[in-house]
Amino acid sequence: MSPAPLFNPPAADLPSKPSVPEWIPPPVTKETHNFAQLKSIDLSLLDSDDSAVVDSLVQQVKQAIRDDGFLFLENYGISIEQLHRQFALAQYLYANISEEDKERLLFNPETGVWSGYKHPFGFKRPRGPADGIEQFNWYTPEWQDINRIPKCLHPFMDEIEEFCNYLTKSVNRRLLTLFSRVLELPDNYLWDNVQSHGSPTGEGYFRHALFRPVQKSTEEASKGLRMHGHTDFGLTTLLFSVPISCLQIWGRDEQWYYVPYKPGALVINIGDTLEIVSGGHFKATRHRVYKPPVDQLQQERLSLVLFNSSIGDMPMRPALDSPLIQREGCIEEQGIYKEFKKQTSQGGTPPTNRQWREIQIATATDPTDTVHNRVGVHQTIINGKVMHTREYMGMKVVLPV
């Protein structure tokens, strides 16, 4: 492949732009135990003229997404200085967003999207117990209408939009090229046939998130959880590695492990859509957000995430023209593909990608919800472990809490 161009953002020092304080990464935890060992993929190797180098890269990706569903991505075209500028803009948002904009742009997840501003009082529009999590989510309408954006960010939208364009149309496209090659399909197969288009984030969304330290009462009610154990419902998720250790993944030994900090790296996880498209060969990543190690409990965690979504009207189904699937069959050992296979084999109709994501957003519960988060309601005991159990459109989702 011809080398991918590096990210070239709009100027940050124009006279029309207010001064933005630098984002200084907080200290890394001194804790070393209970951390995952994740494979790291050098995306620039996809541009190599040596076919053996590219083939080796594809095999590394194949092993990582089959074993963990999680991997680090490095050398993807954005410098550490450019990345820190984006973190500085997110920091600027939460320091300057007005109370008027918080109310005017308040999210309404019952509509099936996270669009707009999330208050720090749970994942429902009506306020619940304080969870210390603020977010702003950009969907297509936010890219199309500046009035749907907090006013403090208006001068910087050129930078944020180009950042998301690059993540989607360069980084994620190259990532999907690798995944297409793992499935032994043409390079553009997933990009052309599964990835949604039409905005800097397609039908997906970009998120600025701020996790503030929580009160002891909140921590006790949630048992330390900031977000339940879950898989992402879309195609791929691109999450920038940060020093505050809150993100955890579910290991093959059925234990939770913190994801270590790798400066400048992207953490990539596989969504439900891609697990089904791959016929179960790719694992949707089981992960959660948990309280950090004790030496980081009083630190704020700033987060930037791109959630890539598949075409909404497309029914969830495997790519049966994949030579890999034709040769090895589908894998029904875990997760959402197993439920998909069960439903379709019984004559049921699988949901569309839009239905699948919207019903999960509309019915999400908070970690502090002690009414639903108990055994016999949304939880059950399986092999001695507490599991979160929900059913959407006839498809059961069972995930570690």
360-370 pLDDT, tens digit per residue, is 999 998 888 88
Q: What is the DSSP string of 68-89?
A: TSEEEEE-SS--HHHHHHHHHH
**Interval 12-37: pLDDT, tens:** 999 999 999 999 999 999 998 899 99
Task: Note the pTM of the prediction, 2 decimals.
Answer: 0.96
**With contact defined as beta carbons under 8 Å apart, do 394 and 356 qualify?**
no
As given in the structure block, the two tokens for residue 287 are 């992960």
Residue 74 has pLDDT above 70, yes or no: yes
CA distance 388 to 400: 6
Average pLDDT over residues 93-108: 98
Phi and psi angles of residue 335, each rounded to the nearest 5 degrees, phi first: 65, -150
Percentage of residues in the chain with pLDDT exceeding 90?
Answer: 78
Q: In three state form, how does the secondary structure of 100-113 look?
A: HHHHHCECCHHHCC
Q: pLDDT band at 391, cuts 50/70/90?
A: confident
Predicted local confidence at residue 383, as pLDDT:
86
Q: With bands split at pLDDT 50, 70 and 90, how would you rate the model's confidence at 304?
A: very high
Residue 45 DSSP one-character state: G
Residue 335 pLDDT level (bands cut at 50, 70, 90): confident
What mean pLDDT do residues 309-322 have? Answer: 95
The reported pLDDT for the residue numbered 67 is 76
The partner residues of 240 in beta bridges, in order of sequence, read 266
* Mean pLDDT, the chain, whole residue set: 94
pLDDT tens digit string along 115-168? 999 999 999 999 999 999 999 999 999 999 999 999 999 999 999 999 999 999
pLDDT of residue 334: 67
* Helix (H) or strand (E) run with residue 178 in it: helix 173-182
> Could you give the percent of the chain with pLDDT greater than 70?
100
| Out of 292-296, 321-325, 363-367, least confident range | 363-367
pLDDT at 347 over 70: yes
353 burial class (0-12, 13-18, 19+ CB within 10 angstroms)? buried
| Model confidence band, residue 196 (pLDDT cutoffs 50, 70, 90) | very high
Does the structure show a pLDDT above 70 at 1? no
Residue 152 in 3-state DSSP? helix
Which is it for strands 205-211 and 256-258: parallel, antiparallel or unpaired? unpaired
State the pLDDT at residue 394.
Answer: 87
pLDDT recorded at residue 328: 94
Residue 86: is its pLDDT beyond 90? Answer: yes
The pLDDT of residue 216: 84
Distance CA 156, CA 86 (A): 10
β-sheet with 385-392: strand ranges across: 379-382, 385-392, 395-400
Query: pLDDT confidence of 390, banded at 50, 70, 90?
Result: confident
Check pLDDT > 70 for residue 215. yes
- Nearest CA to 82 out of 160, 151, 171 is that of 160
Contact 154, 148 (CB under 8 A): no
**Is residue 252 scored above 90 in pLDDT?**
no
Q: Is it the case that residue 44 has pLDDT exceeding 70?
A: yes
- Which CATH architecture describes the domain 40-334? Sandwich (2.60)
Residue 318 tokens read as 């495997």
69 pLDDT more than 80: no
Q: Using the predicted structure, report yes or no on whether residue 234 has a pLDDT greater than 80.
A: yes
